[in-house]
Chains A and B, each alone.
Chain A
Amino acid sequence: MHSGVLMTRFKTTKLLALGAILLSGTTMAQATDYTISVWAGGSGPADAYRWQAIEMAADILEREAEVRGEELNITIEEQHTFDGWDNFKQAVTLAAEAGNAPHIIVTGHEDIGPWSQSGILRPVEDYVDFDAWPLNQLYPNLVEVASYDGVVWGLPQDSESRPFYFSRSHLAAIGYSEADIDALPAKVLSGEYTLYSMLDDVKKMQDAGLVEANKGFLPRTSNGPDYWQFYQSFGGNLVDEATGKLLLDKAALTGMYQFFVDAVAMGLTSSTHLGSPGDSFTDAVISDKAGAWHAGTWSKPQWEAKGLENFHEKVQATLIPAGNAEGRANTITHPLVYLLSTTGTDEEAAIAAELITIASEPRINTLHAIKSAHLAIGSEQVNVPLYANDRWAAEATENFLPYANAIPNNPEFGVYWTAMFKGLEASWTGVSSVEDAVKAVEAEVTSAIGDAIVVR
C-alpha cells in the first residue's frame, strides 16, 4: 500500500508545503517577503560576486515576479567575513547543528560528502531543472563534482586550476631560450620535464645567485587540495576505480613526501615553509625572488593587486609536472558550489534554488570568473565577450582544464586528508622520516576509516 510508506522528514515538509504552494499559486496577488541568507567561505574582496551574484539574481527574480503581476520582495543577508576555511566550516557546521545554517552555503565541493550524510543539505536536484536554461549548459563534469552517490547536491559556483609557475627571467638566466620557455608546458605535459628537473633548474638559479637560498621553490604555505596534486604526480589516485572507495597509494605518498624532503635537503625550500605567513610568499612572487612556485589561477589578480605587472611576460605557467615515471602531469580543480541547507521552509529553499539558478547565468558567472580569475562553469561562457577576451581565462581553460580532476566527495575524505597533511608536515620539518610518516598515515586511516579506504 503506498500510503503505508511512511514519509521522510523532507517528504513531510515537502507535502505540507505543496498544499500551501498550490493554494497560493492562484492567489499570489499580495506581496510575499523572503529573507535569504548566504554565507561564503574562503572569499576575499575579489570573490565578492559569490554573494553579489545572489543579490543580482534576487533583483531579477523580483522583476520577473513583477512582470507576472506579483509582488515579491527578497532580502539577501550575506556573510563572508570568516577568517579562513577552518573558521568558516566550523561556523557552518555548528550553526547547522543548532538549526540556523544559512539558506545558501558557498563552500568547497568536498563538504558535500559529510554534510549530505549529516542531513544538513537539501539535494539541489529536487529544486532545479537541469534540462532548462541556464543549468543545461553547465559542464557535465562540474555537475558531477557537485554530486555525491548519485545525487546532485549543489550547483558549481566556479572552477579553476592550480598550475605551476616559473620565473621567465630566471629560466632565461640559466640558459633557457624564449622558445625553450614557451615549450615548457608541452614538456611538462609529456612527462619529459619532471618535478626533479624543476628542482635541478631551481638549484641552478640559486647557485647562480639569482634567487636566495630556500626561495628557489615556493610551495603553498598551508594545507590545500594543491598537495594532492603532488601525490598524483607520483602516480597516486585518490579513488580506487574498482571499488569506488578512497585509495591510499603508499608508493605515491612516499614519492611525494620524499620529493619535499629532497627539496629541503637541496636547500631549495625551507624546512619550516609550511605555516609561514602568506605575505612573504606573495612578496617573493611579485618581486621575482622565487624560481618556481604553485598556486591557484585566482592568485594572479591578487599578485597584480599587490604590484605584479606584465604577468604573461614574467611568468610561465604549466601543469604540475610528473614526479616519476608512474606519475603524470596534472592539476586539481576545486570548484566551490552553491549548496542549499535544510534551514527554513521548503518555500524559502525553492526561492534560494531559483536564486542560485539565476546566478549561474553565463553573464553573471562570468563577472565572478574574470574578476577573481576563476574559470567558467558552463559552455556558453566562452561566448560572453568579457570571458572570451580574457587571456588568462582562455589560457587556463585551454591548457589546464582538460587535464584537471577533482578531489572526491566522500564523508571520510577529511580524515584521510588531515592524516596526509600531518604526515607531510612531519616529514617536511624532519620530525619523522618519510617511511615513518607514511606508516603513520596508514595506521591512522586504517584505524579511523578502515572500511572506506583501500591501502595499496
Chain B
Amino acid sequence: MSRNFAFWPIILVLALITAPLAIMYLFLAIDTVTTSAPGSFWPTRFTLEHWRFLWDAKLTGDVWGPTATTFIFASTMVVIVLTVSSTAGYAISRLNLPFRRLFLSGILVMHAFPAVTLLIGVFLVLQFAGLYNTLIGVILVKTGFSIPFGVWIMKGFYDQVPWEIEMAGVQDGASRFTVWWRLILPQVKPGLLSLGIFVFIDGWSEFMLPRILAPSSNFDVLSTYLNRVSDPDTAQYNFNLVKSVGLFYTLPILALYAVFQNRLMNIFSGGTKG
C-alpha cells in the first residue's frame, strides 16, 4: 500500500540505527572462523581452530556435558510449563472457580513481577524442600517463574476457541475432561507449540538461577560455562574462542527462531495485550 512514498530514505535511516546490531551479530559469526591482525577487525585467514573446544576438553573443559544438561533443563521446563499452563489456562478460561478474578489478576501482577529480587526467599523454599544445589530445584524455580506467563498465554488461546465446539461435545454427553482432552486441546495446538518454543528458549538462556541456586553442584549449564570461559582473567582467554563457544551455545536458539519466527512474534505480543 501507500505507493506514493519513496522507500530509500526510510531504509537508510533504519539501516543506520540497526547497524550496531548487524555489526555485532555479523562479527559474532565471522570471528569464529577467521583470525585477524591485532587492532583490526578485517579477517585475514579462514580457520577452524576456535572451534577446537568442541573436541578438545583441555581448552575450556568438556562442553558436551553442559550442553546435555542445558537440553534437559530446557526440555523438562517445557514439559512442566505446558502441562501446568494448558490445564490452568483452560480452567480460568472456561470453568467456574472461586476467586477466579483474584487468581487472574494475581497472575497478571506476577507476570511482570520482580521475581529475581526474591531470591533469598526462593533459596529458603528450596532448602526446606532439600532441593538447593540440585538441577531439579533450579528447574522448578524457573518453571514457577514462567507459570504466570504460560497460564496467561494459554488462557488467551483458549479464549479464541469457539464455544460451539465445547457446547457440541458437552451435549453429546462427554465429560468436561474428555471434551478438553479430545476437542479443545487439539484446537490450541498452535498455542502449545508457540509457548513451548518460547519456554525452551527462555530455559536455554537462563543464567541467574543456576548460578545462584546451584553454584557448587557438579553440573554446569551452557550459560554458566560461557560465563566462565568469558572471564578475561583466565589463561586461555581469547575473544574468538569466547565467541565460538557463544555461537555454539546460541545456534539451537537461532535455528528455532529461523523456523518458528512467526509463532514467536505471536507469543511476544499475544500474551501481553493489556
Contact = CB atoms under 8 A, between A and B. Distances in A.
B127 A279 contact: no
Contacts of A31: none
B233 A81 contact: no
Interface size class of B (residues with CB under 8 A): 10 to 19
Contact of A97 (B127, B227, B232, B235): B127
Interface string B235-256: 1010000000000000000000
Contacts of A90: 212, 215
Interface string A95-111: 10110101000000000
B123 interface: yes
A45 interface: yes
A79 interface: yes
Given A97-B127, A98-B132, A87 B235 contact: no
Nearest to A277: B232
Interface of B is mostly: loop
Contacts of B228: 81, 83
A305 B235 contact: yes
A83 B127 contact: no
A87 B133 contact: no
Indicate the member of A94, A95, A97, A305 with the most B CB atoms within 10 Å: A94
A95 B216 contact: yes
A355 to B, nearest CB: 19
Given A97-B127, A98-B127, A98-B133, A91 B233 contact: no
B49 interface: no
B231 interface: yes
Given A83-B227, A100-B133, A94 B232 contact: no
Interface string B200-232: 000000000001100110000000000110011
Nearest to A279: B232
Contacts of B212: 90, 94
A305 B233 CA distance: 12
Interface in A276-322: 277-279, 305
A344 interface: no
Interface in A353-398: none
A305 B234 CA distance: 12
Interface in B122-154: 123, 126-127, 132-133
A82 interface: yes
Interface string A21-36: 0000000000000000
Contacts of B237: 279
B127 A45 contact: no
B114 to A, nearest CB: 19
B132 A39 contact: no
27 contacts: A39-B216, A44-B233, A45-B235, A81-B228, A82-B215, A82-B216, A83-B227, A83-B228, A90-B212, A90-B215, A91-B216, A94-B123, A94-B132, A94-B212, A94-B215, A95-B215, A95-B216, A97-B123, A98-B127, A98-B132, A98-B133, A100-B132, A277-B232, A278-B232, A279-B232, A279-B237, A305-B235
Nearest to A282: B233
Indicate the member of B212, B215, B233 with the most A CB atoms within 10 Å: B215
Interface in B94-133: 123, 126-127, 132-133
* Closest CB pairs A-B (n = 6): A91-B215, A98-B132, A98-B127, A279-B232, A91-B216, A278-B233
Nearest to A102: B216
A277 B132 CA distance: 32
Contacts of B231: 83
A301 to B, nearest CB: 12
A278 B232 CA distance: 8
Contacts of A45: 235
Contacts of B123: 94, 97
B119 to A, nearest CB: 10
A96 to B, nearest CB: 11
Interface string A52-96: 000000000000000000000000000101110001001100110
A375 to B, nearest CB: 22
A353 B237 CA distance: 37
A83 B237 CA distance: 14
Contacts of A81: 228
Nearest to A280: B232
A353 to B, nearest CB: 22
Nearest to A100: B133
Interface in B43-101: none
A277 to B, nearest CB: 6
Nearest to A278: B233
A283 to B, nearest CB: 11
Contacts of B233: 44, 278-279
Contacts of B126: 98
Contacts of B127: 97-98
Nearest to B131: A98
A94 B131 CA distance: 12
A277 B126 CA distance: 35
B230 to A, nearest CB: 10
A126 B212 CA distance: 33
B268 to A, nearest CB: 32
A45 to B, nearest CB: 6
A7 B99 CA distance: 51
A433 to B, nearest CB: 31
